[in-house]
Amino acid sequence: MNNFEFKNPTKIIFGKDTIHKITEEIPSDAKILMLYGGGSIKKNGVYEQVKTALAKADVVEFGGIPANPEYAVLMDALKVIKEENITYLLAVGGGSVIDGTKFLSAAAVYEGEEPWDFVRKREPIQKGMPFGTVLTLPATGSEMNSGTVISRKETQEKLAFGGPALFPQFSVLDPQVITSIPERQLVNGITDAFTHVLEQYMTYPAGGLLQDRFAESILQTLIEIAPRVIKDPSDYEAAANFMWSCTMALNGLIQQGVPGDWAVHMMGHELTAMYGIDHARTLAVVAPSHYKYNFEAKKEKLAQYGERVWNITEGSIDDKAYAAIEKTEAFFKGLGIDTKLSDYTSDYEGTAEKIAQRFTDRGWKGLGERQALTPQDAEKIVKMAY
Amino acid sequence: MNNFEFKNPTKIIFGKDTIHKITEEIPSDAKILMLYGGGSIKKNGVYEQVKTALAKADVVEFGGIPANPEYAVLMDALKVIKEENITYLLAVGGGSVIDGTKFLSAAAVYEGEEPWDFVRKREPIQKGMPFGTVLTLPATGSEMNSGTVISRKETQEKLAFGGPALFPQFSVLDPQVITSIPERQLVNGITDAFTHVLEQYMTYPAGGLLQDRFAESILQTLIEIAPRVIKDPSDYEAAANFMWSCTMALNGLIQQGVPGDWAVHMMGHELTAMYGIDHARTLAVVAPSHYKYNFEAKKEKLAQYGERVWNITEGSIDDKAYAAIEKTEAFFKGLGIDTKLSDYTSDYEGTAEKIAQRFTDRGWKGLGERQALTPQDAEKIVKMAY
């Protein structure tokens, strides 16, 4: 086990009919910017619940934050923050709205000229405007971590950054919100959370016995609740375990003391940036090829995962490891998630080369848990995923 | 799954040679009271490491905090805090020293006359003097929670309390400290952590699918590392997983959204108060009888535990549940922990009645996850444990 430092100060308010509790968390003298996405919160009752809770507060609204939160849109929100002297941000939405709000938290107190500079630099963000969240879509874990991913159409970039100042002060998780989520988004959420765990787990044995078991616990729970959530999103027990699993998948806990991979996300982000494919689906496209390409380096953990999560008891380490990749791909497909790039676009020729070139241009030499994957490796992996 | 609120702001600094990092965590202008126990830290190098780190700081020492931290001793430490105008507390020790420090954190800012009053009232502690910890004995989880248990010889009482102000600001967990811990203490630590998990898990199915799996993960890890830790405490991987498992067993995470029992602790505390039996050993005495006595109420979870943790695949629910209790008792015995009160004292007649009377006197009516156990039930359970 590696040395680590872990602190997660976000307060989680979890359960039925808890949205009204935001009143107790936001300072009464705050001037609040309430941020949301395309307006689904106006149809599912969440908007109403938030507005009712904040009836006595000074609230400005900013809607329209798109999936893969776009820099240009967020810069418009930043103008509102400055003009209206906003002191507190409230994200009401899924990972995109929360991620956009995290960018704004940092941008609101940034002293430089061009906020994109701190995005590109990826230095840990040490100060930000305080913010809370009301989660409407379980998936990214952004509601209980300090990371964010921002996109910029102008440059076709999608970049991750974060820092200790970017933990939400509180996050309200009411599992009832999932009843109005379209199936496409539900399966994206399951796939996203599942892959988050894999990124932190599918590396090499590093002596994190408890971390491994926690990771396996989340994977097993997602596998168990996936059919129930899809069949009936109003199944509260399934919804609650889905929501809590997504949060635990990326709140920092399971990554402590063990190596992380994250190459699947690095390649996946490019596919979203280039083709607009849903984030979760890009992960399902890249992951199986990534694990096959890096089979020798990862086969011990793949086999452990096969044994413990998929109950694969027969065969050699190699057999179990290979079967585990197949089970994973079948799980994604069973959710209705396609796992090849050609399922999403016919215009995929040259994609792998382009991604490799981008990694090279950015000076990214070594991806993966051993920082051993070159842009050329990424090229081969993406080709395998055509 | 029940609604819950969860926030744990303690910063964990985990790993080899990390004690020196306390310098970065304690304000440089603090006047520190360094608290410790019987002096084992002077033999194992921990005292030296802490003193070296704090060479430039203003430090007063208070040693001699006993196991089951004693009110009278702590009141002497409180005098030092007042006389020396202490502003920061540093616990260097195991659960007893940390628990004692938590009491002092609350007592240092308490405005009433007699600190025992807030102990007895068990109202959540909302303010305290800031403190950090350097953990020397994995067991109680006190290093990452806001609870504490204090004993008072004068009244033969042992009472638990806590509150949001009693989270350590930081805790340093260097697994190398366990190399100098006597085997008796190591097995106590394993038993304590194991029972902490059982108290939060061995209730009834409550739809906390992820919480159940996390609890099982900790139990499995403790079972896996126990023989390694006992055989060779310098086995770093085993030590690190032991230490992290103990912390995760009682840092609040696995109890969220699910019922808790804690009756084993309530009865166990009395055995410690009456006979001075090691805390962990009292748990091993009470737990098997408690689970047998409450078999019908707990058998579903007992069977699940038997299946998932002990790989018991044969038989009915009842068979698996009963076998799981036997496996648990055998696990404790395998650690060298006796599981009957008569193994510890020949003077046990009347113990059960006395405990029932104490519970009645304190007005404790319903113990356990359904608040259904009466003092008379406790009497029968303790008798079964003779």
| Nearest residue in chain B measured CA to CA from A172 | B5
A189 and A133 in a single domain? The answer is no
Q: Enumerate the residues of chain B whose CB falls inside 8 A of the CB of residue A213.
A: 216-218, 220-221
Q: Is 90 exceeded by the pLDDT of residue B324?
A: yes
Q: What is the pLDDT of residue A362?
A: 87
**What's the CATH code of the domain at A257?**
1.20.1090.10
pLDDT tier at B238, thresholds 50, 70, 90: very high
B236 to chain A, minimum CA–CA distance in Å?
A: 8
A132 and A194 in a single domain? The answer is no
| Nearest residue in chain B measured CA to CA from A15 | B3
pLDDT tens digits for range B210-229: 999 999 999 999 999 999 99
Q: What is the pLDDT of residue B155?
A: 87
A169 and A73 in a single domain? The answer is yes
Q: What is the pLDDT of residue A88?
A: 98
Which whole number is the average pLDDT over A7-16?
Answer: 98
Task: Please tell me the distance from the alpha carbon of residue A2 to that of residue B98, in angstroms, as a whole number.
Answer: 25
Tell me which residues of chain B have a C-beta less than 8 Å from any C-beta of chain A. Answer: 1-16, 18, 175, 207-210, 213-214, 216-218, 220-221, 224-225, 236-237, 240-241, 244-245, 248, 253, 256-257
Q: Enumerate the residues of chain A whose CB falls inside 8 A of the CB of residue B9.
A: 7, 9
Report CA-CA distances (Å) from A169 to A84, A246, A278, B321: 22, 18, 28, 42
Domain boundary among A150, A176, A202: A176
| Helix, strand, or coil (residue B159) | strand
B18 to chain A, minimum CA–CA distance in Å?
A: 8
Output the six-digit token pair for B101: 């420090």
Cβ(A84)–Cβ(A129) under 8 Å?
Answer: no
pLDDT tier at B257, thresholds 50, 70, 90: very high
Q: What is the pLDDT of residue B284?
A: 98
Q: Which of B209, B214, B216, B222 to mutate to test the interface with A (most CBs of A within 10 A)?
A: B209
Q: What is the pLDDT of residue B203?
A: 98
Rounded (10°) CA dihedral B371, B377, B378, B382: -150
**Residue B110 CB neighbours (<10 A):** 17
B312 and B352 in a single domain? The answer is yes
Inter-axis angle of helices B279-293 and B263-275, nearest 10: 130
Task: Please tell me the distance from the alpha carbon of residue B9 to that of residue A34, in angstroms, as a whole number.
Answer: 26
pLDDT tier at B365, thresholds 50, 70, 90: confident
Q: Enumerate the residues of chain B whose CB falls inside 8 A of the CB of residue A244.
A: 1, 210, 257
| Nearest residue in chain B measured CA to CA from A169 | B7
Inter-axis angle of helices A209-231 and A295-310, nearest 10: 60
Which ipTM value was assigned to this complex? 0.97
| Helix, strand, or coil (residue B203) | coil
Measured in whole angstroms, the distance separating CA A141 from the mean position of its chain's CA atoms is 6
A155 and A297 in a single domain? The answer is no
Q: What is the rounded end-to-end Cα distance, in angstroms, of chain A?
A: 36
Q: A324 in a domain, yes or no? A: yes
Average pLDDT, chain A: 96
Q: Which sign, positive or negative, has the C-alpha torsion B66, B69, B71, B73?
A: positive
Q: B6 in a domain, yes or no? A: no
Q: B2 in a domain, yes or no? A: no
Cβ(A364)–Cβ(A344) under 8 Å?
Answer: no
Domain span at residue B297 reads: 182-384
Average pLDDT, chain B: 96
Which of B172, B176, B188 shows the shortest CA–CA distance to B240? Answer: B176
Q: What is the pLDDT of residue B135?
A: 98
pLDDT tens digits for range B29-47: 999 999 999 889 999 999 9
E strand or H helix at B157, and its extent?
Answer: strand B157-162
Task: Please tell me the distance from the alpha carbon of residue A203 to that of residue A300, in angstroms, as a whole number.
Answer: 9
Which DSSP state fits A65? Answer: P
A272-296 as b/e: b if 16+ CB within 10 A = bbbeebbbbbbbbbbbbbbbbbbee
Q: B120 in a domain, yes or no? A: yes
The structural domain count of chain B equals 2
A261 and A240 in a single domain? The answer is yes
Give residue for tokens 């086999």.
A303
| Nearest residue in chain B measured CA to CA from A207 | B237
**Residue A228 CB neighbours (<10 A):** 15
Question: Worst-scoring range by mean pLDDT, A172-176, B171-175, B274-278?
Answer: B274-278
Q: Where are the beta strands (DSSP E) in chain A?
A: 4-14, 31-35, 58-62, 88-93, 131-135, 147-152, 157-162, 170-173
Task: Please tell me the distance from the alpha carbon of residue B125 to that of residue B105, in angstroms, as a whole number.
Answer: 10
CB under 8 Å to B374, separation ≥6 — which residues? B365, B366
pLDDT tens digits for range A236-281: 999 999 999 999 999 999 999 999 999 999 999 999 989 999 999 9
A150 and A245 in a single domain? The answer is no
Which whole number is the average pLDDT over A345-374?
Answer: 94
Q: Which sign, positive or negative, has the C-alpha torsion A48, A54, A59, A65?
A: negative
Q: Which of A3, A19, A256 to mutate to test the interface with B (most CBs of B within 10 A)?
A: A3
Phi/psi at B158 (5° precision): -145, 110
Q: Is 90 exceeded by the pLDDT of residue A77?
A: yes
Which whole number is the average pLDDT over B138-143?
Answer: 96
| Nearest residue in chain A measured CA to CA from B168 | A7
Q: Which of A21, A210, A212 to mutate to test the interface with B (most CBs of B within 10 A)?
A: A210
Q: What is the pLDDT of residue B364?
A: 85
B253 and B369 in a single domain? The answer is yes
Q: A296 in a domain, yes or no? A: yes
Cβ(A103)–Cβ(A74) under 8 Å?
Answer: yes
Cβ(A4)–Cβ(B14) under 8 Å?
Answer: yes
- The full DSSP string for B50-69 is HHHHTTTSEEEEE--PPSS-
Domain boundary among A144, A176, A208: A176
B112 and B75 in a single domain? The answer is yes
Q: What is the pLDDT of residue A234?
A: 96
Domain boundary among B139, B160, B176: B176
Q: B49 in a domain, yes or no? A: yes
Q: B259 in a domain, yes or no? A: yes
pLDDT tier at A365, thresholds 50, 70, 90: confident
Which of A68, A80, A93, A230 shows the shortest CA–CA distance to A152? Answer: A68
Q: Enumerate the residues of chain A whose CB falls inside 8 A of the CB of residue B15.
A: 1-4, 257
Q: A140 in a domain, yes or no? A: yes
A339 and A190 in a single domain? The answer is yes
Task: Please tell me the distance from the alpha carbon of residue A309 to that of residue A201, in angstroms, as a whole number.
Answer: 12
A260 and A342 in a single domain? The answer is yes
Task: Please tell me the distance from the alpha carbon of residue A188 to that of residue A229, in angstroms, as a whole number.
Answer: 12
Percentage, residues of chain A above pLDDT 90: 95
Question: Worst-scoring range by mean pLDDT, A109-113, B73-77, B153-157, B259-263?
Answer: B153-157
| Numbers of helices and strands, H then E, in chain B | 14, 8
Q: Is 90 exceeded by the pLDDT of residue B158?
A: no
Helix, strand and coil in chain A, % to nearest 5: 55, 15, 35
Own/partner pairs for A312-318, CB < 8 Å, 24+ apart? none
Phi/psi at B34 (5° precision): -95, 120
Report CA-CA distances (Å) from B20 to B24, B134, B138, B174, B242: 8, 10, 19, 11, 22
Which whole number is the average pLDDT over A354-383?
Answer: 95
**Taking CB atoms and an 8 Å limit, are B210 and A241 in contact across chains?**
yes
Q: Is 90 exceeded by the pLDDT of residue B271?
A: yes
pLDDT tens digits for range A134-172: 999 999 999 999 999 999 999 888 889 999 999 999 999
Count, residues in chain A: 386
A26 and A148 in a single domain? The answer is yes
- The full DSSP string for A135-175 is E-S-SS-GGGSSEEEEEEGGGTEEEEEE-GGGS-SEEEE-G
Task: Please tell me the distance from the alpha carbon of residue B274 to that of residue A136, in angstroms, as a whole number.
Answer: 53
Rounded (10°) CA dihedral B125, B129, B132, B138: -40
**CA angle A328–A332–A336, rounded 5-degree value:** 160
